Amino acid sequence: MSVALPRLSGRAAERAALVAVLALLAAAPLFLTPYATSTVTRIMVFALLAASLDLLVGFTGLPSLGHGAYFGAGAYAAGWCAVHVTASGPVALAVAIAAGAVVAAIAGCVAVRARGVFFLMLTLAIGEVVQQLAESWHDVTGGSNGLYGIPAARLGGFSLIDVGARHWFVLAGFAVGAAAVRCIAASPLGDTLRGIRDNEARMRALGYRVYHYKLAAFIISGAVAGLAGGLLAAHQRLVTPPDVGLGTSILALLAVTIGGEGSLWGPCVGAALVVVITDALGSSLGGHGPLVLGLLFVVVVFALPGGLARAVAARRRAAS
Amino acid sequence: MSAALSCAGLRREFGAVRAVDGVDLSLPAGARHALIGPNGAGKSTLFRLLAGGLRPSAGRIALDGADVTRLSEARRARLGIGQTFQHSSLFLSMTAGENVALAAERAQGRPWWPLPRAHAARRERVGQLLGEVGLDGRVDAAVMALSHGERRQLEIAVALATRPRVLLLDEPAAGLSPAESARLADLVRRLPDEVSLLFVEHDLDLVFRLATRVTVMHLGAVLMSGSPEEVRGSPEVQAAYLGSGRRQDLFLAPASEPASEEE
């Protein structure tokens, strides 16, 4: 005898999926090996970075190649704070958010005045400057050796030493960051950013201060990327120049493109694919992870223009 | 009383071409003023100069007597200049309601609010504005799914949502069917008296029905400015505007009663 399951509405289905994913992420340390748990933790860090970039690329129409800079600023600031000031996890994350926002504010003042390929080149240059700074400012960043010896984050008197505790700490940070991005995307500010992406000239004609809104998006995006960087420092307890470099920026942009810009969940899925292919499957692919990632990118661009999220949305529309 | 919008000696050059050449124009409060002229006369350039999309090479623009010549387009919009464009300029990934809401929320001054807005009040205001332009029940329609005529109507709803004191409409009836054009005329007649209207239009029948004053431009300069009857009867305008005179019927035979000042 077959049992007819109640059909959920679109929004209810989304909520159910979100709860299921969060429950799975929370339970991951209970049934996964420490290495697999660590990979899932890394996915969350990278997913938050991709979601923050989506706020720029998908919602504001500003494809940035320098997002590693704000991520790195957050990671180094949190690590430095943990080593020299306090091991408190929340304090380190607050410092990371502030560092990401400040670097993004400085970079954004210049970058958002440019458009198209000039914007892309400016953000690329900003990323390079921050990476060079990470390699040469030895006293603060540890130079090319990286910032190591970061103590385990402390929370409420507990030291988050084991993999599971760090995973839950990162999960909490990821949930807060992703919820903040989602909230902004659903607010009038999010609508304004989408308006700028669609038709900047019309927004000006309506009286919007486009420069201010683009700068605000840049700073918020940088703050969330900084938070992701702080979570990386808490998870790895080591920050190196490659973590903040062009490679990280490109992988984040790849995650957004593969997942589908403007959807928030799509870039998170894209980030999971990127981390799994580059990190987890990297060794079993004989070092050809980047090649597989490149092929995946080409396939998505041709077969799923708009990424996974748009393909799913199209299927839903066709089914309804 | 000062004019709602005025310009004096307005000039704009593109290299050796003088697109707008020393234009003086005054738009009294509550005016229904049409700007006509053959293609290339400089009408759209003048619109962009007045709205702030282009900077003039020389001249002065005043809004309610205050000099706004050096103010940006966005600043002028916040001071009360609303506009629609010759070519459709909407937010294509959004619904009709979202397009209007974006304009309305700027006018209400709370677009930075970080939490989801009060949906009920927003939808009511948006629905009212869409109803005014004849788009009842189209709140959730995607812009891409709207017909050309509906998009033109939506453009006007978006402009009205900013609560403008001066409304600049650039060819609002372009591509509209006769029924849609009639609806547009009805909408313009119902505009509040405090809104001053300046519109560019090639449909001369519509111009003579709606306008209380008509300015004719030719080769970047004002050829004449007067009542619809004066413009209609001017041989100079007929020669400049029609060239070969193939459509003199538009001038010689009134299509309908001209608008009165009370409308």
Q: What is the pLDDT of residues A56-92, one digit of tens each?
A: 999 999 988 999 999 999 999 999 999 999 989 999 9
Q: What angle do CA A25, A38, A69 make, to 5 degrees?
A: 100
Interface test with B, best of A60, A113, A194, A202 (most B CBs within 10 A): A202
Residue A21 lies in a domain: no
A272, part of any domain = no
**Domain presence at residue A308:** no
pTM of the model: 0.87
- Of chain B, the percentage scoring pLDDT greater than 70 comes to 87
Inter-chain touch B112–A199, beta carbons under 8 Å: no
pLDDT of A7 > 70? The answer is no
Chain B residues touching A199 at Cβ < 8 A: 89-92
- Please report the pLDDT score of residue B116 as a whole number: 55
Question: A203 pLDDT band (50/70/90 cuts)?
Answer: very high
CB atoms within 10 A of CB A28: 21
| Any domain includes A55 | yes
Q: Chain A closest CA to B256's CA: distance in Å?
A: 34
Please tell me the predicted confidence (pLDDT) of residue B259: 42
Q: What is the pLDDT of residues A124-177, one digit of tens each?
A: 999 999 999 999 998 888 888 889 889 888 888 888 888 999 999 999 999 999
- A141 in a structural domain: yes
With bands split at pLDDT 50, 70 and 90, how would you rate the model's confidence at A9?
Answer: low
- Asked if residue B182 has pLDDT above 70, the reply is yes
CA angle (A262 as vertex; A261, A268 as ends), nearest 5: 65
Q: Is residue A24 part of a domain?
A: no
Establish, for the pair of chains A and B, how many residue pairs have beta carbons separated by less than 8 Å: 83
Q: Determine the Cα–Cα distance for residues B203 and B225; give it in Å rounded to an integer.
A: 18
pLDDT at B257 over 80: no
- Burial label, A180 (beta-carbon count in 10 A; 0-12, 13-18, 19+): buried
Q: Report the mean per-residue pLDDT for chain A.
A: 89
Q: Choose the closest CB to A206 out of B92, B98, B162.
A: B162
- Measured in whole angstroms, how far is the alpha carbon of residue B169 from the centre of its chain? 1
Q: What is the per-residue pLDDT for A1?
A: 44
Count of structural domains, chain A: 1
Residue A156 placed within a domain: yes
The residue of chain B with its CA nearest to that of A208 is B74
CA A71 to mean position of chain CA atoms: 8
pLDDT at A193 over 90: yes
pLDDT: is B17 or A222 the higher one? A222
Question: Which residue in B92, B106, B115 is closest to A187 by CB distance?
Answer: B115
Q: What is the pLDDT of residues B90-135, one digit of tens each?
A: 999 999 999 999 998 888 776 555 555 566 777 788 888 898 888 8
Beta-bridged to residue B13, according to DSSP, are: B18
Q: Do B106 and A207 touch (CB under 8 A)?
A: yes
- Asked, for residue A14, whether it belongs to a domain, the answer is no
Q: How far is B2 from chain A, CA to nearest CA, in Å?
A: 24
Cβ atoms A243, A75 nearer than 8 A: yes
Concatenated DSSP letters of A276-317: IIIIITTTTTTT-HHHHHHHHHHHHHHHSTTHHHHHHHHHHH
Per-residue CA distances from A71 to A63, A96, A269, B204 (Å): 16, 9, 19, 60
Q: What is the pLDDT of residue B119?
A: 67
Mean local confidence (pLDDT), B76-85:
93
User: Does residue A296 contact residue A277 with C-beta atoms inside 8 Å?
Assistant: yes
- C-alpha span between B164 and B204 (Å, rounded): 25
Which tokens belong to A54?
């989506």
- For residue A44, what are the domain limits? 34-257
Q: How far apart are CA A100 and CA A232, in angstroms?
A: 13
